[in-house]
Amino acid sequence: MTDQPETIKQTFDQLVEIANQFEPNAKVTNIQHHGSGNINSTFLVTLELQPPFILQRLNTVVFCQPELVMNNICILSDYVRQKLEQGNFSVQRRWLMPRVLFTPQNQNHYVAEDGTFWRGISFIDNSQSFDTIQNLQHAQEIGYGLGMFHRLLTNLPTEQLADTLVGFHITPGYLKHYHQVREKIQIKSSAEVNYCLQFIRDRPNLPYILENARINGKLHLRTIHGDPKINNIMIDCSTKEAVAMIDLDTVKPGLIHYDIGDCLRSGCNLLGEETSKWTEVKFEPQLAQAILKGYLEVARDFLTQDDYQYIYDSIRLLAFELGLRFFTDHLEGNVYFNANHDEHNLARALVQFKLTESIESQQETIEQIIAELMNC
């Protein structure tokens, strides 16, 4: 997610005071910015004689009900931890669940005097994340990480979780908003804008494909991560294996195909979302094969025949959906996604639409990969 960030800043002393709410009996020795996220403000807090932890200020512009976000994460982490500790779930290697830290008042968050909303999360030691896939082994571990996340949560009743981002990944809703924006503005014509307009016009049925499958009972709501990008899957520095999924703010009920499609969309475009060479963007089926192989290593047991049937559609749709959202925001004046210049979101839309085009041109190859892995 690249939504508009909050701009409030805290001094070091203020950060120490906030950190002390989550570890009141420890001495803070250092606090530094951590990671590359642009939604929440994230810090690594180093303590004397105790393990470090992550301190985060939640962006309440994006997450307007932060208490519900924290309740979801607590439900999730408690469920997974019990499952792992009870021994009725076989995990052959290291897998960790970020732990929520509580204040002395037994609160899972802290609201500072300036109204900012904070939380403490355990730090996953001896691990790192990457913004792009490094090699085929890394790709397979990305798939494993997402698959393990889904497998651990496959029986968690979705009604226990709040929908903290209503409409997120519901593509028909984004299409409706796009048409509303088009009706109320004067579009400035250009070759790039015309390409996007025609691209959307040529695919009138695509936005409905997953939602129709859900309505018709072919796909069912499960617990999803909601933002399964490459750098949200932690890799063990020693073994190079996936050990955790982080940034759980977007966890909610949804179709696992949103996660599968988004992971493959983001992971199999080596030029990335911000490339200026949009005409050269392509979907890499070899990476898709590795990601899906890792995913199915742990997810095979709970996938249905219909789930397999819609994997290709999910990849194509999620690329199209993000392009649609970027283009709509460009037309609307960059009101949602953070933009460095006036045509930034137009450029991002072109990348996603070109990626969609590449996915469509390789449909037979991608479907063959899915079929072969399904029958392994």
Rounded Cα distance, 122 and 35, in Å: 15
Residue 254's closest CA among 165, 143, 151?
Answer: 165
Q: What is the pLDDT of residue 173?
A: 98
Q: Which residues contact 29 (CB under 8 A, 6 or more apart)?
A: 46, 47, 48
DSSP symbol at 204: S
Q: What is the pLDDT of residue 108?
A: 98
63-105 confidence digits (pLDDT tens): 999 999 999 999 999 999 888 887 666 667 889 999 999 999 9
All residue ranges of the chain with pLDDT < 50 are: none
Q: What is the pLDDT of residue 85?
A: 82
Q: What is the pLDDT of residue 3?
A: 57
Using DSSP, state whether 303 is helix, strand or coil.
coil
292-325 confidence digits (pLDDT tens): 999 999 999 999 999 999 999 999 999 999 999 9
Q: What is the pLDDT of residue 202?
A: 99
Q: What is the pLDDT of residue 38?
A: 61
Burial code (b: 16+ CB inside 10 Å, e: under 16) for 159-185 equals: eebbebbeebbbbeebbebbeebeeee
CB 219 within 8 A of CB 169: no
Q: Read off the pTM.
A: 0.92
Q: What is the pLDDT of residue 92?
A: 74
- Which domains are present in the chain? 12-66+98-123 (3.30.200.20), 136-374 (3.90.1200.10)
> How far from 96 is each of 71, 101, 152, 286, 289, CA to CA, in Å?
19, 15, 11, 28, 25
